[in-house]
Amino acid sequence: MSVSDEILNDIALSRAEYDKIVLGLGREPNGLELGMFGALWSEHCGYKHSKLLLRELPSESPRLLVQPGQENAGVIEIGQGLAIVMKVESHNHPSAIEPFQGAATGVGGIVRDIFAMGARPMALLNSLRFGPLSESRNRYLFEGVVSGISWYGNCIGVPDVGGEVYFSEVYSGNPLVNAMCVGIVGTDSLMKAKASGSGNLLILVGADTGRDGIHGASGLASRTFEDDSEEMRPTVQVGNPFLEKVLIEACLEAVDTGKILAMQDLGAAGLTSTVVESVARGGAGAKLNIDMVPRREKGMSPYEVMLSESQERMLLVVKPHDKSYIEAIFEKWDLDSTVIGAVTDDETITIYDESVEVASLPVKILTEPPLYNIDAVEPEYFKETRTLDFGMVFDKGYSAEDILLKILAFPDIARKQWIFRQYDHQVQTNTLEGPGADAAILRIKGTNKAIAVTNDGNGRFCYLDPYVGGAIAVAEACRNLSAVGAEPIAITDCLNFGNPERPDVYFQLEQCVKGITAACKVFDIPVVSGNVSLYNETRGTAIWPTPVIGALGILENANDRTNIKFDNEGDIVLMLGSSNVSSDITGLSGSAYLEAMYGKVQGVPSIDLAMEFKVQKLCRDAIKEGLINSSHDVSDGGLAVALAESCVSGNIGFRSDLQLGNDWHVALFGESQSRIIISMSKDKLSKFEALAAEESTPWILLGVVGGHSLHIGTLMDIPLEDLDKAWSHSLKESLL
């Protein structure tokens, strides 16, 4: 007899999908088997509404060592026998239910993805979105998430070196918590999660298995929120960072022996996804004896054991004669290691409980969910958002000084000191530039090299034009790398969207992917890994489409770097990307100015990717030539905000005699793309002019570093202490 619609809804399967399962098996699945299908065919694990789109993303690079989607994370070679492993993932829905543990286990999960590849985790970043902090629920979520991230990262000894935080009403019921991790590995020590070889042992190591996290992938991450969020609290995992720290060291020691054939973390869908996906990669099958799985709760059913998402667990594939050797390593670290099964050659996963067969399923059908291509429809709201109100934009009621101070205090723009001071960003002693920089910079010990990492995304731009917004997300992430002197070499993405079954949401997803693809092709960089987080809706209201781009850059010489701080009295300040400070009113499209001053998200953003590429190359080349003392990209808040941030960071002023005319709102607060402000000594200008001419890249002289205020013509003369108060202290004050 067929299962009820209620049961199918609980595991995020449709009636049509259930019928497809029955047809494929030639019978109805039992309860455990159905639960396994629900997990592996969920959006979170199966990517059934996104996989067809993701295939468009560029994945070619001579540096690429692992094809995207084939392993736990992306791997990019950086020379001298070393590679960087990187990935970003979401933990949105768990964090909305239980913010502390949701965020903490998001960190733990992404770290396991990295060391599962044999890499040592060396840095964390996070990209966060919340509703307005004026609402108590949002403050609770915000404080819980920040605490969870800092607790887990600090305990495991991985520095949190960067990130971003935005606030908007659209995220009130559905915060976004995206965690990114990068690690380093020798190219000859790279570990895969490809289980093969009949008779090889499956060893479960780490924490005991409990009932936490059951239905996390299918019931929580693959459906929208309604009014029953508290009932979903048991689906949130519980973390133990102290155990994870030991697990990292034990697993990396085991990898160094050369006796580990494959390794995979237990994340979404627990044992089900870990075992099935590992043997699928190896074209094999598995026999599991789940009565052997160590448990921390009595009376757990096979269903609960197979679907539990208990944290801090890893699966190893080991030859039988190496079993004792590997067990001794984990015993030394005081960790459990238990043989729970073996690899088979029948391409079937067969599960036994006390010698009784409780499930038997072909691996192929489990790993091939239906893939959907929705007929996309342009959102209705485009009719209202694609114009700008000139009267509102040029309202004479606010002075330039009033506007700048208000925007600096706007939560999206305000300095995030209250957050990053809770994170240890110096542990491991690799951090050359940490939180607050355009991009974090990490030394590669034993070499002259360094890497730069950042993550970026702008939901306002993607809401107004998903294609352009997707392209801008890539461009800005790469611009942040270029602004510190690093050449972009790879990205990882986390695509946060609403319900993809809605044609307008699918339109947003489809167009964003196309925009990301277009930008990656211009920069000639691959998308090496990532995650899709869909169904981010609460009571029918979707979040803004929010693609988050994590980017990796390389500095062949770690000394060829800059930061955002104005430093030297008398340095001249230039802006790359334009020969004119003023621009068209469309530069205010999706700007922080419109949202902070008027609560509006309007207009149509734009970007010239060819110009973007030229501006970034000029910036990198000038840094490498030793011409630049500071550089900072112009993004959120526009030129005035970028200048203020450089002044406050360097504790020195800036003076410009530019006369901006009646359209100073656009000149100061417009967010036109492809612009970077740089400072240099006057005697370097002629060399810079020659370089810019050679690369045919426009620029304009803005003014001079010096004094104790931000002075622009007759429009503003704001003391540094006032800028600092607005920018550096407003976020903390909003929490009091």
Active site residues: 44, 91
Report how far residue 35's alpha carbon sits from residue 164's, in angstroms, rounded to the nearest whole number.
36
Please name which of 562, 612, 558, 551 lies closest in space to residue 76, comparing C-alpha atoms. 551
Instruction: Yes or no: say if 67 and 202 are a contact pair by the CB < 8 Å rule.
Output: no
Buried b (16+ CB within 10 A) or exposed e, 520-544: beebebbbbbbbbbbbbbbeeebbb
Instruction: Yes or no: say if 587 and 692 are a contact pair by the CB < 8 Å rule.
Output: no
Instruction: Yes or no: say if 262 and 317 are a contact pair by the CB < 8 Å rule.
Output: yes
Strand partners, 124: 160, 181
The single residue listed with the structure tokens 């006796």 is 259
Task: Please write down the HEC assignment for all residues of 308-322.
Answer: CCCCCEEEEEECHHH
The encoded tokens of residue 409 equal 């205090």
The single residue listed with the structure tokens 């995220």 is 171
Strand partners, 452: 441, 553
Report how far residue 417's alpha carbon sits from residue 403's, in angstroms, rounded to the nearest whole number.
22
The encoded tokens of residue 325 equal 């050797």
Does residue 562 sit in helix, strand or coil?
coil
Do strands 348-353 and 431-433 pair parallel, antiparallel, or not at all (unpaired)? unpaired
CA distances from residue 415 to 650, 728, 729, 733 in whole angstroms, order as listed: 14, 5, 7, 12
The phi-psi region of residue 720 (left if phi > 0; otherwise alpha if psi is between -120 and 50; otherwise beta) is alpha
CA distances from residue 613 to 472, 478, 520, 692 in whole angstroms, order as listed: 12, 9, 11, 13
The encoded tokens of residue 539 equal 């009571």
Report how far residue 402's alpha carbon sits from residue 425's, in angstroms, rounded to the nearest whole number.
34
Q: Strands, E, within 334-394: which ranges?
A: 336-344, 348-353, 356-362
Strand 654-656: give its sheet, edge to edge: 630-633, 676-680, 572-576, 699-705, 654-656, 709-712, 716-719
Positive or negative torsion for Cα 685, 688, 694, 695 = negative
Neighbours of 600 (CB within 10 A): 18
Report how far residue 167's alpha carbon sits from residue 172's, in angstroms, rounded to the nearest whole number.
9
Please name which of 345, 195, 341, 344 lies closest in space to residue 279, comparing C-alpha atoms. 195
Positive or negative torsion for Cα 110, 111, 117, 119 = positive
The enclosing H or E element of 606 equals: none
The enclosing H or E element of 604 equals: none
Q: Angle of helix 466-483 relative to helix 609-624, nearest 10 degrees? A: 10
Do strands 260-265 and 160-167 pair parallel, antiparallel, or not at all (unpaired)? unpaired
Report how far residue 368's alpha carbon sits from residue 190's, in angstroms, rounded to the nearest whole number.
27
Instruction: Yes or no: say if 121 and 245 are a contact pair by the CB < 8 Å rule.
Output: no
